[in-house]
Chains A and B, each alone.
Chain A
């Protein structure tokens, strides 16, 4: 020791830090910080919700995007600073609640405190000359009203309202349970999307997904081996407002390759359930069915090609790539389920049901760029090194013939986007939610209070004490006094 400053040491410092962290004031500041920290995520587009808008910021103002990126403003709820706040808050909460739970447990097992000597100092005190049997009546009254009771020589000490603190503790522990449920779900969960044409079958293996993401501890092999055959999809729309009214998806489901197929209906609010995995109907669109031939008439491609909807009337865009013809052929297309007044160079759909479908195609020839191994979108074609053949609008059954071959718009089928979600933590979160509400109700609507009755030489005294100045004690004491025979 070089100087005389008191040495608090590492342990002392840690103890100090812990006490600071678990103090109510710190918890409150952290709680408010959590609220404020949640705000930017609702004003700036987030990657998980709106990746297109994030990309748009990167193209429009790259500098701003870069700064946003630096502060994780596109992933606020997974950012280090947001995590830091809620982790500190929960540590603080646990550090606050556990000692209190222990204390409460002890207090709940202990008897109510001894009757104070001077009852006139307590709240709602009154005294009168009684008959002598008041203690017995009071004992019964306390028992009937479920007070915890301590019988002393010449007096009774009664207490009620422990549920308040019990509820309070359960509420806070339930919040921890919710957090555990959320983390469990994100560690062991998975989420995937697959576009499936009507008439096709979805088999739950990683390769059938268009996009798939899973938690750090998710095991790919634990995908349940179900398959879903898409039998029929019907979308109903309001003929006046074009707003969707109903989506009904009919499927045939096998929960594993050996089980017997079962027919089921999927709607927006009623997903399919396989254990903790659920399958949701999330979007729908159209796949034109085309046949592409080369100049000799050999079929280069035949089948449905999913197009992505661009507006509420399901005007859709997509690409048809035919690498097997020589030279390669590519078609950039738009599909309109109900074609409106055709404008130059484009079209528009005026209704989401396929009442008068059209397929607009721009045909290209040359290198599709599929052989260089670089991944590319199946909905777009890079036409930089390709040569344009021409444009054509096709009704079902019509063919566009050109020097390099032809394409026939045979018909169309609807597709649905199946979203497969596994969240093994959600039942814990739900349980946490329910316990939180019950605990909250218990803690907000019960009052902790004490009542004392003493009878010495026929002098009856009564008084009470309410914690947190809870209302209603006066009424209760008046009722008890009346039962004991106090004159009004």
Chain B
């Protein structure tokens, strides 16, 4: 019974990878084939190098790409659920499970933001990141589905880990957007934006968007830390013990608090704010990768 579900989960995760690959291809096609050959008028003037981009030409492909992202998300969602059923618990017991759920949260945050902003230019990046995460999870981190160790048997697992994973997904999205800001900003400083980058939102929009994502999810991250403390109190006999994972969660919290203060109170915008945002997001990634895999302490549930 449980092994059947574990197999089903694996097939669903593999299928979602196939679909995310299609989304990736569609997004690459979209970017590549929106290029229009130089205008005749231009070539008449001897200018053969001015390529233009016409995204109306690839609108259909862009829609296919988004549809694939949604399908991939749904398959991955089903895969995560099946993994949970196979183990008879929430699927957050080891690093493989954190990774597939993290990929789910990241693609979910992208799709949710897509409802309000046209972020399809990010699709190429999002699909490749999700593919890399899932690829690593399947190839390196995979562990057979198994019940939880006693310390993880608690309702707080659901509350604490879900809050942390959702925060992580949104933090990373904010990071990607801050990264895009820095890239486009240096491009604009050298002159005009390259043709392909013209449809990307203005610098102001990117700047605002990464701030809003952080401001939106910072209370959730605070909650994740506090929920973790409440759980630690009942499982380990102290609510805060400077365990490496706790320390880095605290560092991430401090970094984002500094980011929010820098923006709201001192009025940082643009490059400086984007760098601070990326720094804060990196502390989260470091916590996830380094502390889970090489770290010591009580949060070593990676199963590696």
Contacts and interface: CB of A to CB of B under 8 A. Distances in A.
B137 to A, nearest CB: 19
A136 to B, nearest CB: 37
Contacts of A440: 218-219, 222
A3 to B, nearest CB: 37
Q: Chain A, interface size: which category?
A: 35 or more
B209 interface: no
Given A269-B151, A440-B222, A49 B254 contact: no
A268 B153 contact: yes
Given A38-B251, A41-B247, A238-B147, A419 B153 contact: no
Given A49-B243, A269-B150, A436-B226, 12 more contacts: A35-B255, A46-B242, A77-B242, A238-B146, A241-B146, A247-B150, A268-B150, A268-B153, A271-B234, A419-B237, A423-B238, A429-B239
Interface residues of B, number: 50
Contact of B266 (A28, A34, A430): A28
Interface string B238-262: 1111111001101100110110011
A114 interface: no
A25 B247 contact: no
Given A24-B266, A34-B254, A49 B297 contact: yes
A433 B154 contact: no
Contacts of A25: 266
Across the A-B interface, the 3 shortest Cβ-Cβ residue pairs: A35-B254, A42-B247, A433-B226
B215 interface: yes
Nearest to B223: A437
A357 B254 CA distance: 51
A356 interface: no
B158 interface: no
Secondary structure of the B contact surface, majority rule:
helix
Contacts of B219: 437, 440-441, 444
21 contacts: A27-B261, A28-B265, A31-B261, A32-B258, A38-B254, A39-B251, A42-B291, A42-B295, A45-B296, A46-B242, A50-B296, A243-B147, A245-B150, A268-B235, A269-B231, A270-B234, A430-B226, A436-B226, A440-B219, A444-B218, A468-B264
Nearest to B243: A49
B138 interface: no
B236 interface: yes
Contacts of B264: 468
Contact of B146 (A24, A50, A243, A270): A243
A41 B154 contact: no
